[in-house]
Chains A and B, each alone.
Chain A
Amino acid sequence: MRTKHARHKSHHSSNHRGKHKHRTGRLASTKGRRHRLHRPPGVGVGTGTIGSSSPMSSAMVDRLFWRAGFGPSAEDRATWTGKTVSDLVDWMLSTPAGSSGVPGTDSGSPLDPTGNDTDLVLNWVDQMVRSTNPFVERLTFFWHRHWANSRESVAPPQLMMTQTELFRSYADFAQNPTATFKSLAYAVTIDPSMLRYLTGELNVRGAPNENYARELMELFTLGVVNAAGQPNYSQTDVEQLAKALSGWQINDTNPDAVYSYFTQSRWYDGPKLIFGQFGNFTSADAVNLVIGHPAHPGFIVNALWGEFIVEPPDPSTLQTLIATYTGGGYQLKPLLKQILTHPALFDSIEEPNMVKPPVVYVVGAMRALGVGVTDSTANDYLDDMGELPYFPPNVSGWEGGLSWLNTDTALARFAFISALLANTQIADVPGESAAAAYERAYMATGEPWLAPGTAAAIQSFANGAPSSSADKRIQRQIALRALILAGPDAQVM
């Protein structure tokens, strides 16, 4: 089954470095006692001991804010540590995105998202950075990755923005608490951006264009094969589904008011055979048929689960989630609540075990440093890291998982933090000791998770760094923040 998390299994694990080394014990440093990594985990690591009504340790608060948002602020930690998982997940699933701070700018000018594509990207990053409830933007971005459309072949840009608004309305459960995947699927099927990107607007009676029909099943709702490896549909199903989906066009005369419309004469009016059923099916019928396909619930449950949790759900968990999803008429909120409160989300709580996608890494670092959008930095480095919003590599979106990290993207991740720090005012503290310098850097970077060995290595750098002048102390401070926020440990959540 082709799901986001199933792809995580593919990896290049060049373990030749670690292979011949003995694992050293955890560093029992007392210097780092104040650091969150040394705090007692609070609740046992074993997944069986974490319940949705257990009080959360700060590590658990961090985990939820990273997996379902863009990392915690100090205030988030203070607010939620000691509260239950359920409390926090309920808040995420019932609170509008909100917005704080000043709107982003691009080198002094207001963002112009329909005027240039850099600002289109920055505009979304700005919303992510400033959102009060980060879950809304996080899930909105998930939908963009799931129904991946690229500005590369979608014009005018208003189409992409309108589509993002559509996704947002299926991520903001304060606004739309009973949102279903089924209604989302229909809305996307006739969404102007999708009609343009997958050439649905060219799908005309007498000349069916299979493009959207195939991807609707393969990538968006079913997968090529089911859990048992059997095909979910045939080439005939693709062709017949394309006929049902025909007839839609786009009116983009006014780019700010683009809409799709149906023309009866362009629709294939006649019987179709889809999944063994005969009928004069329409687009709405087509969506009902694919959503009603037995492979669909497992497909979408796995896709959503894999966004938040590393290991796939065990069979009984999968069945429970499927029952919630289908029993609730394909509603999203109850399913998301069950996934986000599942103990598996807190696996390996002492040592984060999921790679941060670039968007999460970038927005998370900006939030941690308190940096807003003021120039194209975020856009440029997201591109280098391989996840430029609105520009997925193809209709299957970004592969993600371990594949985010390679020798090229590691440089980009490091350089991004360096660029952020270059735009940050960093004061000299005369006479500051190495330990105090480390402490200041750690606090200024939002007290992120670091393994004990990593913290020790960075402290060791601080101990050896020259500090005889203001310039040297500032360099030491910049380097400390870079090593904390841009090193290997900062890449996991």
Chain B
Amino acid sequence: MTEKPSSTEIHALRCADCARSDSLVTDLAPTSRVAIPAEALLGFPDGVPRPRRGVSRRGFLAGSAVGIASIYSAAHLTWESIWDAAAARAAGPAQNSLVCIYLQGGNDGLNAIVPISSDQYPGYVSQRSNIARVLGPSSGTQVGTTVMPGTGSTLAFANPLVSGAGNNGDVKGFDTLYGDGSGGPGSDLAIFPAADYTPPDLSHFDSRDYWFAGALEELETGWLGRWLDTYGSSTNPLQAISLDSSLSKQIRTSTAPVCAIESLTNTSFEITNTNIDANAEVANLAAVPADAANLALTRSRSIYGETVEVSNRLSGIGSVQVAPGYPPNSDLSANLQLAATVLGAGLGTRIITIDWGSFDTHGDQVTSQDPQLSVLSSALAAFKADLAGRGIEQNVVTLVFSEFGRRIMSNDSVGTDHGAGGLVVVSGSSVRGGLAGEHPGVQGDQDGNLVPITDFRTVYQALIGEWLGGDPTAILPDGPFPGIQRYDSGTTLMK
């Protein structure tokens, strides 16, 4: 905590993290103003008096003037929201956020980042002649490559990832995010060509569970869920959001509230053909105590309660603000636009997860993977510009990963079977762009898979330590893991 609240007025709005959200709401006339005596905080009902984000209640009371809460609607008049607004203000400036894009099914990184050195490329072609990229521009059905700066011409982007007519259409791609690969200004895309765990077990489901758990076993909590339990809010479900109808295992927590939302419409309980305040009635039902040993009923009631909480906090956010440049007709675009809108609203969101795509390309790989690589690269570029337009790009980092890479040798179905050593990219102007891990080459292990160079937990460790904040060893079992070893000898993920 570096800043104490400077105002004696505590805005009981969703989050006072940034002035932007203040301005959104303070244009409205408060419906009432309520004095908050310090004794009221001392008598906080269930759940509030506990340290969070380094702000202890005692510290809060000692350092802040407990004054007036401006109430903009009855929905906001909860101790939780008052406390949240005050604590968020006490916590200081805007906090860093992480957006995780999971490419479902096992993305073939070897056909995305292609080894083109004279000692690698012939082996690459001979092992996957029916899907191999060609050197230089694309022609006809042959998909070409574009050299990655700063790699000594050893690696190249497959052209679906690259901007410009003939490749990815007239939009921005990975190459523009990657820049000159130096990690300096304008070089904002870090690339790990072969991140994974060893030994790989080639199962979608185990591999996915490991990546989500941040451990080589299926755990009850996700790696980001444990981070939220330790460093997150105990009251704000919008601190971590899966943009989906299901909650990602990455943000499964023990205690911290999190949420899944699919859109910004229909975010509250409603009973058709009535004007009854269903949210209020559901909140009453959710508050009925359940036997903690009955996990199902306990969960049902707590989820209903959190849904009301999410609904209240989202009231007034409006619809998704669509920025230009996103590839059309893509779920990924829609979700990134939703993500940008939520992040821009200052709701205290630290984590957003998006599951996307169909990368399990056992057959007809090129016609399936390439359009998706194209959408991914242009959507990431559009997202970055969108965030910049909202003035928050420097506070957002995007991680892209998949559960594994694919076999070096292609199969006769013109596809690839499950492999190892998958592609990971991390995007954002705070990120030190360039090659953040070596390429393992196409010699392969005894099963013909890429040899993983970077433990995936090395990336997580850096994201916690350098970006989200906190002690990685408290979050990731079996750590600490080897540090980042960049192509240029650097050891950091961020600039």
Contact = CB atoms under 8 A, between A and B. Distances in A.
B278 interface: yes
Given A10-B218, A16-B234, A18-B290, A487 B205 contact: no
A117 interface: no
B296 to A, nearest CB: 5
B184 interface: no
Given A406-B260, A421-B272, A11 B284 contact: no
A370 to B, nearest CB: 19
Nearest to B294: A353
Contacts of A405: 299-300, 303
Interface string A1-38: 01000000111111111111111100000000000000
Nearest to B289: A23
A209 B417 contact: yes
B237 A12 contact: no
Interface string A340-376: 0000000010011111000000000000000000000
B411 to A, nearest CB: 6
Interface residues of A, number: 83
Contacts of A436: none
Contact of A483 (B201, B260, B285, B301): B285
B27 interface: no
Listed residue (A2, A12, A386) with the most chain B CB atoms within 10 angstroms of its CB: A12
Interface in B11-46: 45-46
B46 A351 contact: no
Nearest to A217: B203
Nearest to A477: B274
Contacts of B219: 10
Secondary structure class of chain B's binding surface, majority of residues? loop
A418 B294 CA distance: 27
Interface in A452-480: 453-454, 457-458, 460-461, 465, 474-475, 478-479
A418 B246 contact: no
B471 interface: no
B273 A489 contact: no
A408 B288 CA distance: 21
Interface string A441-460: 00000000001011001101
Interface stretch (B91-99, B120-128, B250-258): B250-258
Given A207-B411, A408-B262, A488 B274 contact: no
Nearest to A405: B303
Interface in A407-426: 407-412, 414-415, 418-419, 421-422
B47 A355 contact: no
A385 B203 CA distance: 27
Interface in B243-271: 244-247, 249, 251-262, 266-271
B362 A199 contact: yes
B256 A488 contact: no
Given A13-B302, A478-B273, A235 B287 contact: no
A283 B258 CA distance: 46
A351 B272 CA distance: 29
Chain B, interface size category, equals 35 or more
A429 to B, nearest CB: 17
Given A235-B202, A348-B294, A492-B296, A454 B245 contact: no
B300 A406 contact: no
Contact of B287 (A12, A17, A354, A492): A17
Interface in B293-314: 294-307, 310
A381 B258 CA distance: 22
A457 B285 contact: yes
B247 A403 contact: yes
B489 interface: no
A208 B202 CA distance: 16
A218 B208 CA distance: 14
Contacts of B302: 13-18
Contacts of B237: 14, 407
B205 A396 contact: yes
Given A17-B47, A202-B362, A355-B296, A475 B275 contact: yes
A2 B267 contact: no
Contacts of B244: 408
Given A199-B413, A224-B203, A488 B306 contact: no
Report the 6 A-B pairs with minimum CB-CB distance, sorted nearest first.
Answer: A207-B412, A20-B46, A453-B288, A408-B260, A407-B259, A202-B413
26 contacts: A11-B299, A13-B255, A14-B302, A16-B234, A17-B286, A202-B363, A202-B412, A209-B413, A211-B362, A214-B202, A384-B262, A395-B204, A396-B204, A408-B259, A408-B261, A411-B307, A465-B276, A475-B275, A479-B274, A482-B278, A483-B282, A488-B301, A488-B304, A489-B288, A491-B296, A492-B297
Given A21-B46, A414-B270, A483-B285, 20 more contacts: A10-B219, A13-B255, A15-B298, A19-B47, A19-B255, A206-B412, A351-B291, A352-B297, A355-B296, A355-B299, A355-B300, A384-B245, A385-B245, A406-B246, A414-B282, A415-B270, A465-B276, A478-B271, A479-B276, A488-B282
Interface of B: 45-47, 104-105, 201-206, 218-221, 225, 234-235, 237, 242, 244-247, 249, 251-262, 266-276, 278, 281-282, 284-292, 294-307, 310, 362-363, 411-413, 417-418, 447
